[in-house]
């Protein structure tokens, strides 16, 4: 397990540089989940990236499976990117750890297109309590592991307002993402309003 997480952290550092902060959260009956914070100083403003570390230590198991395979199965970590300095987004560390622990706690398999909800604002004043899990491969390349282990996939999280989450349940993830694209929605804006959904 430690070997996998060491490789995962190295891959995150290759993609984002060294983390400028990290926090660890442990829930009863689960492995420790860390959340690493990376600051990306770019031309269009600073972006803060939060990445989980620990979710991929064990493969996710289908809740309907009779037996949990300790080696084979999908492995993932979560990555959230927001614009720095507009909101107290560092408070997202615990909600992110909760989401990363959900495969162990609830037996869910987190896949692209899924909605994850923490039930409370992701950070103080946030108009979002849920996220859409996006396709991996854009920010951080998949991390190949030795056979027969599945690769670790780094899944971007896109915050959704409650209206967007409800609309996505009816129309699907693809339709919501196209709506965001059509309206030029800045998904990294921690204070953004819901996209027009009529």
| pLDDT at site 65 | 67
Helix (H, G, I), strand (E, B) or coil at 95: helix
- What is the largest distance, in Å, between two alpha-carbon atoms of the chain? 51
| pLDDT at site 68 | 66
| pLDDT at site 50 | 97
Do 41 and 49 meet the contact criterion of CB atoms below 8 Å apart? no
| pLDDT at site 104 | 85
Q: pLDDT of 72-105, one tens digit each?
A: 889 999 999 999 989 999 999 999 999 999 888 8
Residues of the chain where predicted confidence (pLDDT) is lower than 50 = none
Q: pLDDT of 103-123, one tens digit each?
A: 888 888 999 999 999 999 999
Distances (CA, A) of 145 to 6, 38, 125, 169: 12, 24, 39, 34
């Amino acid at each position: 397990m430690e070997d996998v997480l060491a490789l995962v952290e190295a891959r995150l550092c290759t993609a984002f540089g060294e983390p400028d902060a990290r926090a660890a959260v442990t829930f009863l009956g689960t492995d420790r989940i860390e959340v690493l914070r990376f600051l990306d100083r770019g031309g269009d403003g600073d972006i803060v990236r939060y990445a989980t570390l620990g979710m991929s230590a064990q493969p996710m198991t289908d809740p309907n499976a009779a037996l949990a395979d300790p080696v084979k199965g999908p492995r993932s970590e979560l990555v959230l990117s927001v614009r720095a300095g507009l909101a107290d987004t560092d408070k997202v560390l615990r909600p992110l750890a909760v989401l990363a622990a959900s495969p162990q706690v609830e037996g869910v398999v987190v896949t692209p297109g899924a909605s994850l909800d923490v039930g409370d604002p992701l950070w103080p004043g946030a108009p979002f309590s849920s996220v859409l899990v996006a396709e991996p491969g854009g920010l951080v390349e998949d991390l190949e592991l030795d056979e027969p282990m599945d690769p670790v996939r780094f899944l971007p999280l896109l915050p959704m307002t409650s209206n967007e989450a409800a609309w996505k349940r009816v129309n699907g993830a693809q339709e919501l993402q196209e709506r965001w694209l059509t309206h030029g929605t800045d998904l990294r804006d921690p204070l953004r309003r819901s996209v027009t959904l009529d």
